[in-house]
Structure 1
Amino acid sequence: MRTAEPGSIAGRRMDVNPELWPDVVDRPGASRARTALTRALVRRALERLPLRVRFPDGTQLGLGGPLVEIHDPDAFHRRIGTRGLIGFGESYMAGEWDAPDLVAALTVLAGSLAELIPAPLQRLRGLWAPKQPGAQRNTPGGARDNISRHYDLSNDLFALFLDDTLSYSAALFRGFPATWPLLATAQHRKIDRLLDLAEVGEGTRLLEIGTGWGELALRAAARGAHVTSLTLSREQRDLARERIREAGHADRVSVELCDYREATGTYDAVVSVEMIEAVGVEFWPVYFRTLDARLAPGGRAVLQAITMPHERMLAARHTFTWIQKYIFPGGQVPSVEAVEQTVRDHTQLAVTRRDAHGAHYAETLRLWRERFTERADEVEALGFDETFRRMWTFYLSYSEAGFRSGYLDVQHYLFTKENPSR
């Protein structure tokens, strides 16, 4: 199998599989003028940031702070000049730059994201920023493909860095810094809080949109609830069913391979944990109308949702990002304002409560990232190459930095349906 060598890490050349990673292997062409402009814009941005950016010739930019090592300046600038932030991430995947403390460096960048691009270019974003591909639209068929690309990678992969609950969402800790032995307890604390908000107990008819690997359904069933859980991931469905059967709750929990739009029936409560991020802007009204339609009068819907500032969401909602290209195709993080406006305009639901827990997600991601790094050899043994491991490290670090900088937050929402005649 042919390989190429687009990058180097501290003097070591990386071999990248061109069939798996064509855009990482491919160094985009750029005119001299465009490359020169990119260099000037990058230099202008870096000079004002609390970073130390070091180039192979000894040049150093920044005001001091976390170190960023640029191993291949030409490729680094060409990727950014032609592909923007997608190119920035691909350059890391290719080994063209690195950082001893990647989270710290990305936290600086995330906290300054709105100021990194000059205002004139920001206003012209619609002309230069790549558009989301139509193939990633979250139609019923598209959503299945998008979900499968992430969640059907390998149950064994996720088990390597998640705790024994296999919960793949923000935990809720009692204090910081969090430690690995407390992660499972913190995940149960989060799940129990969501179930308490939804008033799930003996006899509750509960609809869960987004199964994960079944931990919430298990804890709801232990309370005496009857749970219908929906997922589009075959891998998750199969393992969730196995875990539920082994726990003795198969008579109380049904896990179905089913799009939320295809759900039927009426429920006392609906819970959905970090599912809205996979819905897509176009389908937010449909998603919330589904919650409304499935919820009985007097019922309660509870969401755990990642959010971002409204202005940044508006700027990014139609552009194609690195995270969409490589990690969550079709995804889009909403803002608090977008969630509440959509609920107000399209449903009979009322926003009864909202609590933010962004710092808890930063700690959750740190524990996952450290675990993933510690078990890199086991990840490799599963067949995931170095480019994949750099991609996944960048994703976990990128996400953690988003929460640490305040660019991202995570909310617990309670919606109630008190006035069905409205």
Structure 2
Amino acid sequence: MTLDKTRPDRAQNPNPSQGVPPLEQLRRGPRTAISAAVAKRLFHAAVGRLAVTVVDEPSGKTYGRGGPTMRLHRPDEFYARLGRDGLIGFGEAYLTGAWDAEDLAGFLTVPAARMATLIPEPLQRLRAFVTPRLPDHHRSTEANSQANISHHYDLSNDLYALFLDETLSYSSALFDTSTVTAGIGPGSVGDHLVATPPEPSDRPDPTQHNVDLAEAQGRKIERLLDEAGVTAGTRVLEIGTGWGELAIRAARRGATIHSITLSVEQLELAQERIAAAGFADQCRLELMDYRALGADGAQYDAVLSVEMIEAVGAEFWGTYFETIDRVLAPGGKVAIQAITMPHDRMLATRDGETWINKYIFPGGFLPSVEVIDQITRDDTSLRLTGQLEMGSHYAETLRRWDRRFLAQADAVQALGFDDVFLRVWHFYLSYSQAGFASGYINVSQLTFTRENQQENP
């Protein structure tokens, strides 16, 4: 397939907040008034069961059971947006400044822990009728996928460098390797490892947080390489190049790497970083959709992918794993890092559009570990043989990114991004941190071998 090798030009984009859709104006009328009244009643009922404090500033009234504080500056707008667009409207009301919270992640963590029960069950059954569907142009088809990826990853390499560590790793770090063994439970399919929660770091200067974060990102990558058995001479396929750190570390072990991406910006910088590290001869980087793999008959001893399955889309999970199965050489191993959600929540939210879809990751959707296990068993010869659950480490990773992003606000604006973009990204990072801190979402390193390898590893 032919891929577009041009990058977005912010000078040609009339919206200074690259990638941020314009906020819709509220439409007044009976329908808005009724939905706002219903939303207000449901919101007050939910808050009344939560350890939070909600301050209605115009009236001076306070709601909730005490805890992290949310301040409603324009409650009429807040309830109107919430009533019209649900959780998307909740996030959009933050973007317009209708509400705020000093500890945004702390506040969002409380309802995230109770997300499945905040709305009465009879109303939850109506979700399919009121939740907007994912737009067709955001489906992760071969025609759409590059645009979906470009929307987020081609914003600006300089932007990401402002808040990531020196490895430019944009995925969960692993702060230490101490683990406990857990049995079957939410987000697993059997006995598995759970990473011990990391100690939070509160250095006075958030720009100095990168020393141990870089070490933790390296630890994450090295563990994946170990799980996939990458050594000298290993033929490695990486699906989702990022900015090249995994390829560099695999090459350092003596492997040869074929890495594919759909991001023009990432491809260019990854090539520069790999060449500077002295591994250009061992690494082949391509702008390629994963579905095009295997056309040349190439086989790989190890397939790795870090937080890329989230962009595949539910309807293509089978295709993704079938592709990996097709190009994996006999005796090969697969190691991926995947953000997941509980199976019941995945089923309840499948096919709907979320705030994250609209503003951050078009076409993205989180699988469950259970569905990954089911698809690989039903459609491939791959079998899930190892899992390290590390959601608490992602919460800490996001906390550090958010602190540094806010500390670099002036530098972000100097790149051409405006105040709305800053609020979008602070909400995104805090919202994500809350998801991992509450356990509503999780992240795991998953290892796969072929079915006939399990008896003779």
Q: TM-score, normalised by structure 2?
A: 0.86
The equivalent of 2:127 in structure 1 is: 125
> Displacement, 1:142?
0.6
> Displacement, 1:26?
1.2
Structure 2 unmatched runs, 5+ = 1-14, 177-197, 202-208
Q: CA RMSD in A?
A: 1.6
Which of 243, 251, 254 aligns to 1:224? It is 254
Conservation of the 8 A alpha-carbon contact between 2:19 and 2:151? no
Conservation of the 8 A alpha-carbon contact between 1:18 and 1:25? no
SS at match of 1:384: coil
Conservation of the 8 A alpha-carbon contact between 1:296 and 1:417? no
State how far apart, in whole Å, the 2-side matches of 1:99 and 1:51 are: 11
CA separation of 1:350/1:391 partners in 2, compared to 1, >3 Å: closer, same or farther? same
> Displacement, 1:177?
1.8
The equivalent of 2:239 in structure 1 is: 209
Larger mean CA deviation between 386-395 and 44-53 belongs to 44-53
SS at match of 2:452: coil
CA separation of 1:314/1:418 partners in 2, compared to 1, >3 Å: closer, same or farther? closer
Conservation of the 8 A alpha-carbon contact between 1:352 and 1:415? yes
User: Is 1:170 the equivalent of 2:172?
Assistant: yes
Larger mean CA deviation between 30-39 and 132-141 belongs to 30-39
Q: How does 1:218-367 map to 2 (within 5 A)?
A: 218-264=248-294, 265-367=298-400
State how far apart, in whole Å, the 2-side matches of 1:86 and 1:418 are: 42
State how far apart, in whole Å, the 2-side matches of 1:18 and 1:305 are: 29
Residues 63-88 of structure 1, C-alpha deviations (whole Å, 9 max, x = no match): 00000000010110010101000001
User: Is 1:196 the equivalent of 2:226?
Assistant: yes
The equivalent of 1:12 in structure 2 is: none
Residues 347-396 of structure 1, C-alpha deviations (whole Å, 9 max, x = no match): 00111111101111111111100110110100010011000000000000
State how far apart, in whole Å, the 2-side matches of 1:309 and 1:184 are: 29
Q: TM-score, normalised by structure 1?
A: 0.93
> Displacement, 1:20?
7.7
State how far apart, in whole Å, the 2-side matches of 1:235 and 1:64 are: 45
State how far apart, in whole Å, the 1-side matches of 2:32 and 2:85 are: 14
The equivalent of 1:417 in structure 2 is: 450
Conservation of the 8 A alpha-carbon contact between 2:19 and 2:359? no
Size of the aligned set, in residue pairs, is 405
Conservation of the 8 A alpha-carbon contact between 1:206 and 1:270? yes
> Displacement, 1:31?
3.4
Structure 1 runs of 4+ with >4 Å offset = 16-23
The equivalent of 1:380 in structure 2 is: 413
State how far apart, in whole Å, the 2-side matches of 1:97 and 1:373 are: 18
The equivalent of 1:37 in structure 2 is: 38
CA separation of 1:231/1:21 partners in 2, compared to 1, >3 Å: closer, same or farther? closer
User: Sequence identity of aligned pairs in percent?
Assistant: 55
CA separation of 1:137/1:21 partners in 2, compared to 1, >3 Å: closer, same or farther? closer
Structure 1 unmatched runs, 5+ = 1-15
State how far apart, in whole Å, the 2-side matches of 1:414 and 1:203 are: 20
SS at match of 2:238: strand
Conservation of the 8 A alpha-carbon contact between 1:23 and 1:90? no
Greater relative contact order, per chain length (Cα 8 Å cut-off, separation 6+): 2
State how far apart, in whole Å, the 1-side matches of 2:290 and 2:375 are: 17
Amino acid paired to 1:277: E
State how far apart, in whole Å, the 2-side matches of 1:362 and 1:192 are: 20
State how far apart, in whole Å, the 2-side matches of 1:119 and 1:360 are: 32
The equivalent of 2:106 in structure 1 is: 104
